[in-house]
Amino acid sequence: MITDLLFTFILSILLISISLEDSMTMLISNNKLGIFTIFGFIYLFIHENPAKEINGLNLIITNSYIAIIIFIFMTLISLLGYKLTGVNSLGLGDIKLAAFASFWLGLENTLYAISISFILSSIYFLYTKIYKDVGIFHQYPFAPFISIGIFCTWIMAKI
């Protein structure tokens, strides 16, 4: 219980930092993504359970495969968006953040987090189209939406 609270605090600090950086610069530093991933590894090691034959190293290997799958999935979405609109809709930092979330959440919860982020992003997009004067392919930072999705999914998984 206390470790979950500690990692919830760490996760929230990392996600806020990443979101603020993306909001200000439209970039996410690899250093912050690396720290995000390392704490995900640490979380997996702490939650290994010999009684249930859950090994931290096996969790990292499994979640690494999941991260690769999520990375490919998000890259394909980005490429499809670029082919359809001619605008880079998802940056590499956004793709990495979504992929590395799998170390914290696993496959199913990462997909929930991505779904939440796309729904929230769509709502924001519609709001800006209706109430603000922005172009049809206006770019905005996506990491805050991914971060909200990750954090909401993390909290729901812990309840």
Domain ranges of the chain: 2-158
pTM for this prediction: 0.92
Query: Half-sphere exposure of residue 88, counting CA atoms within 13 Å on the CB side?
Result: 9
Q: What pLDDT, on the 0 to 100 scale, is given for residue 33? A: 97
The full length of the chain comes to 159
Q: Does 29 or 129 have the greater pLDDT score? A: 29
Q: Does 51 or 127 have the greater pLDDT score? A: 127
Query: By mean pLDDT, which of 2-16, 31-45, 135-149 is the weakest?
Result: 135-149
- Stretch 15-41: mean pLDDT, rounded? 96
